[in-house]
Amino acid sequence: MKLRDLKAGDQAVVIGYEESDSSYRSKLLAMGLTRGSVVKVIKVAPLGDPVKIEVRGYDLSLRKAEADVLLVESGQ
């Protein structure tokens, strides 16, 4: 499942990354979105871009292209 599939208030665990531009993956890793990290969706903009999430105690906004690289597993 991808981050865009979640709604505000949902939590998920990062399980991996899509095969795509490695610059997005590096950027996500630098922001703390590593495998096993728990993310909570705070808010989704009306058109889905950006998505505001909470990870490791701080808020982060991701664009659609960045969020689509992130694979998550619902729950936790």
pLDDT tens digits for range 17-55: 888 777 778 888 888 889 999 999 999 888 878 999 999
Question: In terms of pLDDT, which residue wins out, 40 or 5?
Answer: 40
Residue 61: exposure state from Cβ atoms within 10 A (0-12, 13-18, ≥19): middle
Indicate the pTM of the whole model. Answer: 0.81
Contact 1, 12 (CB under 8 A): yes
pLDDT value at position 54?
94
Structure tokens at 9: 């208030």
